[in-house]
Amino acid sequence: MLLGVDVGGTFTDAVLAAGGRLVAAKSPTTPDDQSQGVMAAVSAALARAGSQSADIEAFSHGMTVATNALLEGRAARTVLVATEGFTDVVELGRQARADLYRLCAVRPAPLVPPQRRVAAPERCGPCGVLRALEDPAALAEQVAAHEPEAVAVVLLHAYAHPEHEQAIGEALARALPDVHVSLSHDVVGTFREYERAATTEVDAALSPLLRRYLRRLLERAADAGLPEPRIMQSSGGLATAARAARHAAFTVLSGPAGGAAAAALVARSSGREDLVCFDMGGTSCDVCVIEDGAVRESAGREVGGRPLALAMVDIHTVGAGGGSVASRDPGGALRVGPRSAGASPGPACYGRGGEEPTVTDANLLLGRLGSDAPLAGGVALDRAAAQRAIRLLAEGLGLDPLACAEGIVRVANAEMVRALRVMTVEQGIDPRRFALLAFGGAGPLHAAAIADELGMTTILCPRASGVLSALGLAAADRRATEQRTVLLTGAALSDDALAGARDELARAARATLRGADAARVELAYDVRYRGQAHELTVRDLQDATVDATRAAFEELHDERYGYRDAEMPIEVVTIRATARIPGPELDLGAGAAQGAERGRRSVVFAGAEHDAEVLRGEPAPGDEIVGPSICELPEATLAVPPGWRGTVDHAGTIVLEARAER
C-alpha cells in the first residue's frame, strides 16, 4: 500500500493506493502545526480503506511549510557571511525591474538585515585564490556574537573554488554545533552571485523551520506506525526527510510539484502528451505545462519575488482559489484575492465564523455547488451565509447579488487565465493545440470558462481530480539533482572535459539516493554563444560530444530565436545531472465506478438560469455528459456549461469537448 499526503492552504489530502484500489480522504489543514492535519487525513483514509498503518509500505509527502514561510517573510534568525565588500549583494539585486514603469514598486526585503551581515576577509577569482582566508575561527566567533539560528555562507566564485567556504563551514561547526549552516557551493553550485546568494540565504533562513516541522511529523508518523515520510522536492522528485531538512530551499514548490507529477501520470494514461494543467485549491492556483508527456522543468525561477537558482518543475502560482476573498477596492472595482479565507475560518458558507465573500460562496450562490450534500472532508455548505456575505459586497458595488457572484467568478477566472498565458503564450506555446487538465478541489468548476478564454476545445477531469496532487506524490520518482557551473569554451571545451564533468556530477547525484545502482541519470547542459548573457538548456544528451552538444544547441536556438551562427564559438556554462529511480506505476482506473446518481437543479451560466442535470458520484466509463450539467465527484465538482459535452474514458477521466456550433 502506497500513501501520498499533500498539504494545501485549506485542505490536507491523503490517497492510499493498493491492490487495484484508490482510497482518498480530506481533512482541514492545521496552519499552526500542519502535521496534525496530515495525521487526521491519514487516519480518515485508513478508516475508509479498512486498513492499518502497518499495511503502508511507502509514505510520500508534499507540504507548504517552506512556501508559506517564504511568502510571509517568516524566517529563522540568520547571519550572512559574504566576501568583504559584497555583503549587500542580495539587497542590491539586479537592475532589471519586473514592471518597467512602476518606479516605486517594492521588492521583498532581504531575509538577513544589514546588522547581521558579516564580511569575510578573503577573495577568489574565476581562476583561483586572490586573497587567502587567514583565520576562519575568528570569523566564526564574530558570527557567534549575533546568536544565530542559521548561517548562510556565500563567497565570490565558490562554485569553482569552494575551499574557503568549506573552511568557514568547519569553523562554524566547531563554534556553533547546533546552528544550521548553508554553504552556497553545496546548495546551488552555479555562478551569478546575486541568485546564488539569494538562494543560499533562503535555504539557511527556512531550514530550521522546516527541520522543526519534519521532526514533529516524523514523531507522529512513528507513533502511528507509519513509515518515515519521503519529501517532495521542487524538482518533482522525492528525497529523504533528512535531506529535505538540510536544504529547505529544495522544497519551496513541494506541494505544486506533486500536482505536476500527477499530471504526467494522467498524460500517460489518457494518451494525450500535450496538456496545460491548472490546479486550483482553496488558496492558490498552480499552472504547469506537459509537453510530449513530460513536465517542463526550469533551472530556476522567482518565488515570492525571491530568485531560487535551483532545478525545479516549471510552475507558476497565483493567489486565486476557492477561498480567495472578494472585495471592493478604493476605486470601486471588484477584486478577488490574493488574500484567502484559508482553512480557518474559511469561506462564509463553511459556517466556521467566516463573514467575507469568497469564490466558493459565489459558486454556491450560482448553483454550481450544492448545499444538499457536504463537500469532501465533511464540510456542509450554508447557502444563507453565502448570500449574506455576497449581498453586503453587492450593495457596496451597486450590483444584484447574483450578478456580483458571477463577477467574483469572472475576476478569479481572469487571474487564472493570466497565469496560463504566462506559461503558454508568453513562452511561445499556442494553448489551442493543448488539452486543459483541471484538478484540485475547485479547478474543474472553472475549467470550461478558462478554456473558452484561451480558445481550447478539450478538457480532462480525472476521477481523482480533487486529490490528484496526493496521488502524484504516491507515484512520484525518487530523484536527486547536482549542478555545477563549468564555463567551458574554446580550447577548454573538449570531449574529455565534458565527460569528466558530467561523470563527476552523475556520481554525486547517485550517491544521494539509496539503491544508486538502479538510478538512471539524465543530463542537461546550459549552453550559449560566447558573449551572450543567458543560456538555453539542452536535454537528453547522455554521452554527448562537443559536436553533438553544439548541434542540439543550434537547433534549439534556431527554434527559439529564428537563427543560428555556425561561426560563433559556443560555451557550456552549467551541467546538471539528475539521478532518478522511477516510482510505482498506478492504475488510474483501478476500482472503476459503477455510475453516478442523477438529479437536477437550477444553475446560473452566463447570466441565465438553466435546469441542469446533476451527477453525484463517479460516472462509469462510457457514460455521456452533456451541458448544462454538474458532476459532483467525491473530492471535486465539475461544471459543464451549455456548449460542452463529453464521455468518461477507461480510467474514469471525464473528457469534455466543445461542440462545433459553440
Higher model confidence: residue 377 or residue 270? 270
What's residue 592's pLDDT?
57
Residue with cell 456549461: 641
Which fold, 478-581? Dna Ligase; domain 1 (3.30.1490)
Nearest to 550 by CA among 533, 536, 562, 561: 536
pLDDT in tens, 246-265: 999 999 988 888 888 888 88
Residue 236 pLDDT greater than 60, yes or no: yes
Q: What per-residue string of b and e applies to 27-46 under the rule 16 or more CB within 10 Å gives b?
A: bbbbbeebbbbbbbbbebbb
pLDDT band at 101 (very low <50, low <70, confident <90, very high): confident
What's residue 662's pLDDT?
54
Angle, alpha carbons 30-248-209 (nearest 5°): 50
Residue 349, φ and ψ in degrees, nearest 5: -70, -10
Same CATH fold, 478-581 and 254-320+412-466?
A: no
Angle, alpha carbons 291-297-298 (nearest 5°): 135
Q: Supply 660's cell numbers.
A: 462545433
pLDDT band at 516 (very low <50, low <70, confident <90, very high): low
Determine the average pLDDT of the residues in 379-386: 90
Q: Cβ(48)–Cβ(23) under 8 Å?
A: yes
Domain boundaries, the chain: 2-70+211-232, 73-207, 254-320+412-466, 324-409, 478-581
pLDDT band at 85 (very low <50, low <70, confident <90, very high): very high
What's residue 411's pLDDT?
95
Residues 6+ apart with CB under 8 A from 95: none
R_g of the chain computed on alpha carbons: 26
What's residue 457's pLDDT?
94
Q: How far is CA 349 from the centre of its chain?
A: 28
Q: Supply 309's cell numbers.
A: 537558482
Q: Cβ(15)–Cβ(41) under 8 Å?
A: no
Q: Which helix (H) or strand (E) holds 259?
A: helix 254-270
Beta strand 536-539 with 520-529 is: antiparallel
pTM of the model: 0.86
Region of residue 400 (left: phi > 0; alpha: psi -120 to 50; beta: else) = beta
* Range from 181-185, 222-226, 314-318 carrying the lowest mean pLDDT: 314-318
pLDDT in tens, 144-168: 999 999 999 999 999 999 999 999 9
- Distance from first CA to last CA of the chain, Å, rounded? 45
The size of the chain, in residues, is 662
Q: Is 566 exposed, middle or buried (0-12, 13-18, 19+ CB in 10 A)?
A: exposed
Distance CA 511, CA 560 (A): 35
pLDDT in tens, 471-481: 889 888 888 88
3-state secondary structure 490-522: HHHCCHHHHHHHHHHHHHHHHHCCCCHHHCEEE
- Helices then strands, counting H and E runs in the chain, come out as 16, 35
pLDDT band at 82 (very low <50, low <70, confident <90, very high): very high
Higher model confidence: residue 283 or residue 394? 394
Determine the average pLDDT of the residues in 646-661: 86
Distance CA 485, CA 601 (A): 60
pLDDT in tens, 28-49: 888 888 999 999 999 999 998 8
What's residue 478's pLDDT?
84
Residue 370 pLDDT greater than 70, yes or no: yes
Nearest to 245 by CA among 257, 258, 229: 229
Q: What number does CATH give the domain 2-70+211-232? A: 3.30.420.40
Residues 6+ apart with CB under 8 A from 2: 16, 17, 18, 56, 57, 58, 60, 474, 475, 584, 586
SS3 544: coil
- Return mean pLDDT, the chain: 90
Determine the average pLDDT of the residues in 620-638: 90
Residue 178 pLDDT greater than 80, yes or no: yes
Determine the average pLDDT of the residues in 434-461: 93
Determine the average pLDDT of the residues in 180-192: 94
Q: Cβ(506)–Cβ(541) under 8 Å?
A: no
Determine the average pLDDT of the residues in 74-79: 94
Q: Cβ(15)–Cβ(582) under 8 Å?
A: no
What's residue 52's pLDDT?
92
Architecture of 254-320+412-466 per CATH? 2-Layer Sandwich (3.30)
Angle, alpha carbons 177-91-135 (nearest 5°): 40
Q: Supply 395's cell numbers.
A: 450593495
What's residue 318's pLDDT?
81
What's residue 590's pLDDT?
65
Distance CA 286, CA 443 (A): 10
In the chain, helix, strand, coil percent, each to 5? 35, 30, 35
